[in-house]
Amino acid sequence: MRIGVYICYCGSNIAGTVDVEAVAEYARGLEGVVVARTNKYTCSDPGQESIRRDIKELGLERVVIGACSPRMHERTFRTTLQQAELNPYFLEIANLREHCSWVHSHMPTATEKSKDLVRAAVERVWQHEPLYPRQVPVTKAALVVGGGVAGIQAALDIANAGYPVYLVERQPSIGGHMAQLDKTFPTLDCSACILTPKMVDVSANPNIHMMTYSEVAKVEGYVGNFRVKVRRKPRYVDVDKCTGCGECAVACPKSLPDEFDLGLSERKVIYRPFPQAVPNAFVIDKVGIAPCQNACPAGQHAQGYISYIREGHFEEALRIIREDNPFPSVCGRSCHHPCEGSCNRKLIDEPIAIMSLKRFVTDHIYSHGLPRTVEWVEQSKAQRVAVVGSGPCGFTCAADLRRMGYGVTVFEALPVAGGLMRTGIPEHRLPKGILQRDIDDILALGVELRLNSPVRDPAKLLDEGYSAIHLAVGVTRHTSLGIEGEELDGVLSAIAFLRQVNLGRHVQIGKRVAVVGGGITAVDAATTALRMGAEEVSLVYRRSRGEIPAYPWELDEAEAEGVRMVMNTVATRIIGENGQVTAMECARSRRLSSIDDTGKRVVVAEPGTESLVKVDTVIRAIGQYSDKSWLNSDWEGIEGDHKTLMTEQPGIFAGRGVVRGAGFVINAVALGHETAESIDRYLQGKSLPAPPKEKRPVEKWTREEAQAKVRLGAVRPEPRAEPARLPLEERVRTFKETVLPFTKEQALAEAARCLDCGICSECYRCVWACEREAIDHNMREVIKDIEVGAAVIATGFEMYDARKMPQYGYGRLPNVYTALEAERLSNAGGPTDGKFLCRDGREPEAVAILHCIGSRDKNHNAYCSRVCCMYSMKLAHLVREKTHARVYEFYHDMTAYGKGYAEFHERVQEEGVIFIRGKGAQVEQGDDGKLIVHALDSMLGKPVAVPVDMVVLSTAMVAPADADQTASLFHITRSADGFFMEAHP
């Protein structure tokens, strides 16, 4: 290999820091290098000629040039090689200027680094393969990233040239910062009058595909042919349907600081960014789902109905509850409420009493005879569906399918409906009349119920004209203890015991009852036994109280009623005489090292610790599973797929109640929803299973975040409301409901504790207010693939955060504003209707405008933002025009470099604006409430202190916070200040 190396002085740009001759001498000793020269300017004609000559005379096969940026001269030197008939891609450039001389001042180390760069370039050029130019088609479409005025103009110019344009803007509307301005300098033209027609032109141009509320996620490809993925965020409003009438915003109950007005006013959660927005449609602000909703298996919109309760709108609250849960009365009484366990409020004091609030709503509506918004649904589809089992899963599925327009019949083998809600939950926890009203509301939709109708052969229902069958029979078969004596009289299963009691059938129990188990079914069996006259009831559990499945409050209440808790104890055998239970042998439990199916260590009896307990009745409650004995033998092995829920028999679905049991009522409700969706997809010929639903982020706080909100006063600790209980002496011998409902006052106070974590509570007021049906809370993120040949990056700027310079009091002193906030005050569409007002509504008598806040300061940004002087003088003019206040401009140097700028400077001076050459040093509050601006007047050579009513900070323009991500996506270089760089600096 024959390589030539050429080191450039670049005048003194490189030679001022790098010993160029030493680098060339070093290069001569590298393998393959046959010549190493230096040039004053390698890019000049003599420098290029020396390369061409060496290629021809010395037979060079590769060329390395140590010079400046390849971006500037790579094409030049490739042409040089091509002119000498050497493949132009046998070239490597070592960037000595940007990588060495511009970033180093110490010549010896800069020289050594340059040697390393040249050596690396020589190593690379050894590996080069010949490349040859070829022509490829170019995608004749362009991408414009950023919908401010620069992006808008670029999109219009390209589109008007006849090319398709994709205009991507991350905000819900195009317009950018210019839409926030009042006037433009130096002509004082109305900003909106210039911008709005251009925005309308964009929306009307057939060549422009506007993609608002969107971000570029990925860029692939090569010059002229780029493949771009654009992530479109859900705005939850159909832009094509929305007319911009604003009725949704009127109905929305929650307000937030308005970002467009920089927090100087408020907007609703559903909002339009500004009146001239394009597209002129609304958008819903959702930061994520509330943790209570995320924790609920059925996705209950708790924040939504709690917001209604807080306002006293109880009918609407019930309407929201029924959107997700057809059993509000039941779940208001019998629910393990994981929502409360995930409530952010528990990080401050105690979680919201969500279950009790749900119960209050239903009880209040029924007791006061208020409307329940339950309407008959006409059958709009020809297919009929049979649901076997009337528990929470089956009835939920039936209600969903009816709302979809199907004919639905529920078959129940018992003379009463409700499944385990009817037969497995005792009257003192769930009165049967309460359950029945939920069932009646489901039937009111048009669901048919057939009692005393056992189904032995599901396939016959298909023959009878049903298009799909849902087997939803729940978990009604008990798990055996597996010990001696279980066959004795007096040994009962908790499920069978509770069923007999709830159906009003006679059940014989003794005076001394032992319940073996630790779940809620065990607790229910124990408290029911007390109410049936048992004198002694013990609950025997093999692990500690802290490990018991039942909740602590359930145990506390059972214990208060008289149930004795026997923990860390194993039942080893049951003893009887003449076939009747007389005692139960127990032993202390011992944990083994092996792990059981639940992930816990296996528990066995400790030998030698056995003892006898006299009992008349033993109730086993250690679990239950699906009972399929009611089916013909051909069907006993039926299983449903865990994803699609369909069995091997097409059209027959088995909710997981048949497969393995749902467990809790709310889990069964969730399964009912899932099964209804699968059945609908099956009947509509769609694929199964349904595509996975996008997981939305959860607005889960940390303890530190919660405590910070308390310290800032955003949240105040409040005691949790607790429902009253029946007096102990009254409840233990009756089946009256133990827990009483909230009073109205309790409910309102408890609802007021809600933190509105999810911002949008999904209360559906906007949905009900929109006659165009444009609002869809189920919208999800969409990824769109586009192909373009070129991209224009116009992502603009952000304003410097003045809080980083606390000496100016921004965010602490109420009448210190940023320049952009002052623009909003001046704008007729702004928070004060175009009036410059202090926070207390007064018109200021004196205003100070401080230049260079965050710029021309080596501790923050050393650069000059170039426009601050002009927009400061513009604001001074507007203040004088609208208030006649005295205006002081504290400036460092006046940058007025454009056409008409110097004249504008003279104009504002003539209008009486006072210019003080000296950067504002500090702003403090005076004793009289005035703001005191301290500065050093460099013209007078002494400090000054000027009292004013309002201070405006002319903050620097800085690169967007995500500029690094944009640079990485598009492979763009950035300056040290964070802004994008042109092809060569």
- What is the C-alpha separation between 613 and 516, in angstroms, rounded? 13
Q: How many CB atoms lie within 10 A of CB 557?
A: 18
**Residue 267 forms part of a structural domain:** no
Q: What's residue 631's pLDDT? A: 62
Q: What confidence tens digit (pLDDT) does each residue in 731-777 have? A: 887 899 999 999 999 999 999 999 998 889 889 999 999 999 999 99
Contact status, residue 847 vs residue 951, Cβ threshold 8 Å: yes
Q: Which of 94, 103, 105 is nearest to 27 (CA)?
A: 94
Can you give the CATH number for the domain in which 344 is found? 1.10.1060
Could you say which DSSP state residue 454 is in? -
Tell me, yes or no, whether 529 and 563 share the same domain: yes
Q: In whole angstroms, give the CA distance from residue 443 to residue 548.
A: 38
Which residues make Cβ contacts (< 8 Å) with residue 934, sequence separation at least 6? 920, 921, 922, 923, 924, 943, 944, 945
Q: Would the CA dihedral through 246, 248, 251, 255 be positive or negative?
A: negative
**Cβ-based burial of 693 (10 A; exposed 0-12, middle 13-18, buried ≥19):** exposed
Looking at the predicted structure, is the pLDDT value of residue 287 above 60? yes
In 3D, which of 221, 190, 193 has the Cα closest to residue 789?
A: 221
Average pLDDT over residues 432-458: 95
3-state secondary structure of 478: strand
Tell me if 9 is assigned to some domain: yes
Read off the pLDDT of residues 226-267 as tens digits, 9 standing for 90 and up. 999 999 999 999 999 999 999 999 999 889 999 999 999 999
Q: Which helix (H) or strand (E) holds 180?
A: none
Tokens of 435: 């359950």
pLDDT, mean of residues 588-607: 77
Alpha helix positions (H), 752-831: 765-769, 819-826
Dist. CA 587–CA 605, nearest whole Å: 6
| Rounded distance between C-alpha atoms, residue 196 and residue 203, angstroms | 11
Q: Which of 106, 126, 146 is the last residue of a domain?
A: 126
pLDDT band (50, 70, 90) for residue 655: low
Alpha helices (H) along 734-814: 744-751, 765-769
pLDDT in tens, 662-712: 468 999 999 999 999 999 999 999 999 888 887 888 999 999 999 999 988
CA–CA separation, 943 and 916 (whole Å): 11
8 Å CB contact between 659 and 250: no
Q: How many CB atoms lie within 10 A of CB 598?
A: 8
**Domain co-membership, 14 together with 115:** yes
Give the per-residue SS3 of 472-497: CCCCCEECCCCCECCCCECEEEHHHH
Residues 483 and 595 in one domain: yes
Q: pLDDT for 917-964, tens place per residue?
A: 999 999 999 999 899 999 999 998 999 999 999 999 999 999 999 999
Same domain as 498, residue 421: no
H or E segment to which residue 539 belongs: strand 536-540
- pLDDT reading at 339 higher than 70: yes
Strands 790-793 and 62-67: unpaired
Nearest residue to 479 via CA among 620, 605, 309: 620
The closest of 227, 245, 322, 318 to 281, measured between CA atoms, is: 245
CATH of the domain at 114: 3.40.50
- Quote the CA–CA distance of 270 and 289 in Å, as a whole number: 16
In a domain, 256, yes or no: no
**Number of structural domains the chain divides into:** 6
How far is the C-alpha of 921 from the C-alpha of 219, rounded, in Å? 46
Beta bridge pairs of residue 976 = none
- Tally the residues of the chain: 985
Q: Which residues in 642-692 belong to E strands, given as ranges?
A: 652-654
> Are 833 and 946 in the same domain?
yes
Shared-domain flag, residues 709 and 857: no
| Maximum Cα interatomic distance, the chain, rounded to a whole number of Å | 120
pLDDT digits (tens, 9 = 90+) for 66-114: 998 887 789 999 999 999 999 999 999 999 998 998 889 999 999 999 9
The confidence band for 481, taking pLDDT boundaries of 50, 70 and 90, is confident
Determine the 3-state secondary structure of 702 from DSSP: coil
First-to-last alpha carbon distance for the chain, in angstroms, is 35
Query: Quick one: what percent of the chain has pLDDT higher than 70?
Result: 96
- Calpha distance 379→377 (Å, rounded): 6
Neighbours of 343 (CB within 10 A): 25
How high does pLDDT run on average in the chain?
92
Pairing of the two strands 624-625 and 477-478: antiparallel
Q: Is the pLDDT of residue 985 over 50?
A: no
- Domain shared by 358 and 399, yes or no: no
What pLDDT is recorded for position 660? 44
Q: Of 582, 597, 623, which closes a domain?
A: 623
Q: What is the distance between the alpha carbons of residues 509 and 868, in angstroms, rounded to a whole number?
A: 88
In this structure, the answer to whether residues 455 and 339 fall within a common structural domain is: no
Residue 592: predicted pLDDT: 74
CA-wise closest residue to 458 among 643, 648, 644, 624: 648
State which amino acid sits at residue 914.
Answer: I
| Residue 454 in domain | yes
- Res. 661 pLDDT band, cuts 50 70 90: very low
pLDDT value at position 598?
63
pLDDT top residue among 872 and 628: 872
| In a shared domain, residues 121 and 152 | no
Phi first, then psi: give them for residue 764, nearest 5 degrees: 70, 10
**Same domain? 971 vs 905:** no
Question: Which helix (DSSP H) or strand (DSSP E) does residue 302 occupy?
Answer: helix 302-311
Report the pLDDT value the prediction gives residue 133, as an integer from 0 to 100: 85
Task: Identify the CATH number of the domain in which residue 503 sits.
Answer: 3.50.50.60
Q: Are residues 822 and 895 in the same domain?
A: yes
Q: SS3 sequence, 12-56?
A: CCCCCCCCHHHHHHHHHCCCCEEEEEEECCCCCHHHHHHHHHHHH
Radius of gyration from C-alpha coordinates of the chain: 39
Over the stretch 602-650, which tens digit does the pLDDT of each residue have? 788 999 999 999 999 999 998 776 665 556 656 655 677 888 899 888 9
Q: Is residue 513 one of the residues assigned to a domain?
A: yes
Q: If residue 815 lies in a helix (H) or strand (E), which one and from where to where?
A: none
Tell me which residue of 624, 340, 599 sits closest to 474, measured CA to CA. 624
Angstrom distance (rounded) from CA 933 to CA 827 = 26
| pLDDT above 90 coverage of the chain, percent | 82
Tokens representing 527?
Answer: 């408290």
Higher pLDDT, residue 55 or 456: 55
Q: How many CA atoms lie within 13 A of 817 on its CB side?
A: 28
Give residue-wise pLDDT tens across range 205-226. Answer: 999 999 999 999 999 999 999 9
Strand ranges, E, within 266-320:
266-268, 270-271, 283-284
DSSP assignment of 918-984 equals S-EEEEEE-TTS-EEEEEEETTTTEEEEEEESEEEEEEPEE--TTHHHHHHHHT--B-TTSPBP-S-
Q: Is the peptide bond before 689 cis (omega within 30 degrees of 0)?
A: yes
In a domain, 245, yes or no: no
Distance (Å, whole) CA 757 – CA 750: 15
Confirm whether 260 is domain-assigned. Answer: no
In a domain, 248, yes or no: no
- On whether both 644 and 668 belong to a single domain, the answer is yes
Q: Give tens-digit pLDDT for 422-444.
A: 999 999 999 999 999 999 999 99
Range of the domain at 939: 799-957
